[in-house]
Amino acid sequence: MPFFCVRCGECCSQMGSVHVVERELETGGFVMANLYTGERHEVEIDPALACLSPDRRIFERWSGACPFLREKPGTGEICCIVHRTRPEICREYRCWRLLVLNASGRRVGRVMERRHLAADDPALQQFWDRHIAVLREDDDACWDEQAILLLTEGGYRVQR
Ligand code: SF4
Ligand code: SF4
């Protein structure tokens, strides 16, 4: 199953403390520094997204966002304006291990890290608290199988 990014932007919403613009290049590109690893990476704003660059309203919502994060007006869609040249760490990123969909196929939650649920739907959160948060299973693979079975019995679909 390919990674299913819904462009919510949450993964980049705190990355301003990691990725900083070190300098602007004469070519119009930028040198990004990763403050954690010390790596440097040159990026260019995608021409098709350049019109979004001056619009910095996203930082009113997420003051710690990556400097290249923007919202496409009127769509609710968040995007990376250097998407084509973004660093490797951003290319490899997957925000979830298990994706939980409701009966209509809409995303209602993501299981992140070992067992953390990021719920988009209060009903799923209630189901999780009642049936899954109480699971006593140390083995991660077994826990995954049990959680998936319970979610499936509860009418959800799980992708991984
Ligand atoms: S990778 Fe995940 S958190 Fe980031 S925009 Fe896509 S769905 Fe949202
Ligand atoms: S460079 Fe793009 S993908 Fe990477 S953190 Fe910034 S906005 Fe997100």
Q: List, for residues 27-80, the tens digit of each pLDDT value.
A: 999 999 999 899 999 999 999 999 999 999 999 999 999 999 999 998 889 999
Ligand closest to Cα of 16 equals 2
Protein residues with CB under 6 Å of any ligand 2 atom? 12, 15, 19, 66, 68-69, 80, 82, 86, 90
Q: How far is the CA of 26 from the centre of ligand 1 (A)?
A: 32
3-state secondary structure of 107: strand
The chain-wide mean pLDDT, for the chain, equals 92
Q: How far is the CA of 6 from the centre of ligand 1 (A)?
A: 6
